[in-house]
Amino acid sequence: MKQKSSSTPKFIVVTGGVISGLGKGIAAASIARLLSSKLKIVPIKCDGYLNTDPGTMNPIEHGEVFVLDDGGEVDMDFGHYERFIGCTAKFEWNLTMGKVFKRILEKERHGDYLGSTVQFIPHVTNEIKSMFHTIVEKEKADLALIEIGGTVGDLENQFYIEAVRQLKNEVGRDNILFIHLTYVPIPSGVNEQKTKPTQMSVKALNELGIEPDIIIGRCQEYLTQKIKEKISLYCNIDTDEVISGPDTNCVYEIPLIFENEGLVASLHKKLSIYSPPYLKEWRELVERIKKNISEPSRQTTIAICGKYTALEDSYASIIEALTHCGAQLDIKVNLKWVDTDEIEKGTVGPAEALEGIGGVIVPGGFGVRGVEGKITAIRYCRENNIPFLGICYGMQLAVVEYARNKCGIKEAHTAEAEADGKKVKNAVIDLLPEQKKIKDKGATMRLGGHDVIIKKGTLAHRILKADTVRRRFRHRYEVNPQYIQTLEKGGIIFSGCAGDKRIMQIMELEGHPYFVGCQFHPELTSRLEVPDPFFLHLVKNSLTPEKKGN
């Protein structure tokens, strides 16, 4: 068990430069992983957008909405934090400018600033710092790892940058450390690492009053010693404080790379802390993943059938859960992206779309676009004994498909398909009762961790090996209680339900190699060391008999 130190809390601030999408979240999570053996670390993410949270944002624009156990809808970087550190994050750890401004306006109306003109500085920056300190104190953290979203120079993150500059003066230089993640390109035809973008990015950071203590250079390959020396010279840091962040086909390798680059020693020295990394099992699983990428002894292909396939980050946690399964089972899990819009339009048939796959996932989603394509894919899996996992909306549509084609419920559908005043005739999936009067869209779904009661003697009980599990939800609709008896008579087994036994939370079918649907999102609690059981059994059953082995 980690022991709370009596010393002053430490702060590590991670910023990004040159371009977006460099992987600040994974870098921050990797740093936290390296220091988490003896320290209690709380990750804080600062986003510049004015939304209170990303819950109403299009996944294609923003990426996956990660749902926390406390019901918070947060940035997808929290998925990296939880998977790398093993923590259970909280909604208040995700700051957005929408949250910050909302708090300030509420205080102004309440009279907290009477006599003052409310200004960006000091009121906005003071509020940000207050949120930092409140989180650290409440969590009794040894170290706060603050990731500032966006790129240095963005208008949206200027107040966060100014807040951490002020924080440096308040907590003392020995208690705060700045890490800047930047880009070192190798231009086509030049075949040489270039430091000018890094120099300009650090200069922009210096102009904002922050001098980075450590620079991580993202590049296609490891930084050469010559390039490290050049960055050191122009950015006013020691050479051993320039860390390589090379491209890798396994994000879980990044803590190992940082450790080998000497990052841990620098962090210990500069912050006067000691928390040596424990990575034995982690390293073994990473080596297994890398081996299976380059020289797989066994492999399978899982199709992800959805409508957000234009941006794979929309399904980031699903991808990671499958990676966890591949490491655990020592196999390579290939992904095939299937756009269900194309199946719905008839551009491609289900047999062609699912050719050569070993298993299918129909993930969560919203709206009617691509729904009939998903239902067609689900029916093909059921009728052709293809292992299937339906998540949230995927489970609901599996119920719709079965109701239509096996239970004889004509025009069975989800009430979510209602539009322009047209009612669904047989809504086997309907709004949760408490949702029917809700008008606001943000943070109003059934969200966060809830207990799932598992029915004994079912496949779910054999897989989960528990009478009750806690999983995370994000939905407005449920299996309509009026149809449950008919569906059960038709062959659906509802093997998991809510504590009050009203909401059906797991469904399965007998006589099928693997056909499971869950109302919750199992991918959100999957970890490298402990993969989610539903994903694990999907991957196991996707293997052909000769490849299953043990």
Please check if 55 is assigned to a binding site.
no
Half-sphere exposure of 422 (CA within 13 A, CB side): 6
**Is residue 248 marked as binding?**
no
| Angle at alpha carbon of residue 375, lines to 353 and 413, rounded to 5° | 165
Region for 441 from its dihedrals, namely left if φ exceeds 0, alpha if ψ lies in -120 to 50, beta otherwise: alpha
275/438 Cα distance (integer angstroms) = 48
Residue 335 marked ligand-binding: no
- Is position 540 annotated in a ligand binding site? no
Alpha helices in 384-483 (DSSP H): 393-405, 459-464
Residues in contact with 122: Cβ distance below 8 Å, sequence separation at least 6, in sequence order: none
C-alpha of 19 from chain center: 21
> Is 20 annotated to bind ligand?
yes
The amino acid occupying position 192 is E
Beta strands at 492-497 and 446-454: parallel, antiparallel or unpaired: antiparallel
350 is in an annotated binding site: no
The vertex-297 CA angle with 295 and 301, nearest 5°, equals 95
Residue 295 annotated as binding site: no
Q: Which two tokens stand for residue 130?
A: 């207050």
Which of 62, 123, 475, 521 is an active site residue?
521
From the number of C-beta atoms within 10 Å of its C-beta (0-12, 13-18, 19+), residue 451 rates as middle
Q: Is 96 annotated as a binding residue?
A: no
Consult the annotation and say whether 395 binds a ligand. Answer: yes
The answer to whether 10 is a known ligand-binding residue is no
Question: Is 416 assigned to a binding site?
Answer: yes
> Within 10 Å of residue 312's Cβ, how many Cβ atoms?
15
Task: Say which amino acid occupies 240.
Answer: D
CB distance 168 to 64 below 8 Å: no
Contact 494, 484 (CB under 8 A): yes
Whether residue 23 is annotated as binding a ligand: the answer is yes
Annotated binding residue at 238? Answer: no
Contact status, residue 445 vs residue 430, Cβ threshold 8 Å: no
State yes or no: 394 annotated in a binding site.
yes
User: Catalytic: which of 235, 392, 407, 518?
Assistant: 392
Closest CA to 359 of 301, 406, 404: 301
Collapsing DSSP states into helix, strand and coil, what is residue 216? Answer: strand
Of 303, 306, 392, 391, which is closest to residue 341 (Cα–Cα)? 306
**Residue 162 known to bind ligand:** no
Question: How far apart are the C-alpha atoms of 474 and 443, rounded to whole Å?
Answer: 10
Q: Which of 82, 372, 508, 523 is catalytic?
A: 523
Q: Which helix (H) or strand (E) holds 44?
A: strand 41-47
Asked if residue 274 belongs to a known ligand binding site, the reply is no
Annotated catalytic, 392? yes
| Token reading at 14 | 């991670």
Residue 155 among known ligand-binding residues: yes
359 is in an annotated binding site: no
Q: Is 230 annotated as a binding residue?
A: yes
Task: Indicate if 342 belongs to the active site.
Answer: no
| Cα dihedral 188→189→192→194 (10° resolution) | -50
What angle is formed at CA 363 by the lines to CA 396 and CA 67, rounded to 5 degrees? 100
Q: How far is CA 358 from the centre of its chain?
A: 25
365 is in an annotated binding site: yes
What burial letters (b/e) apply to 473-499, b meaning 16+ CB within 10 Å? bbbbbbbbeebbebbeeeebbbbbbbe
Residue 21 assigned ligand-binding role: yes
194 is in an annotated binding site: yes
User: Can 523 be counted among the known catalytic residues?
Assistant: yes
Q: Is 542 annotated as a binding residue?
A: no
410 is in an annotated binding site: no
Binding site residue list for ATP:
21-26, 77
Catalytic positions, please? 392, 521, 523
Binding site residue list:
20-26, 77, 147, 154-156, 194-199, 230, 365, 393-396, 416, 476
Binding site residue list for UTP:
20, 194-199, 230
Binding site residue list for CTP:
20, 154-156, 194-199, 230
Binding site residue list for L-glutamine:
365, 393-396, 416, 476
Binding site residue list for Mg(2+):
77, 147
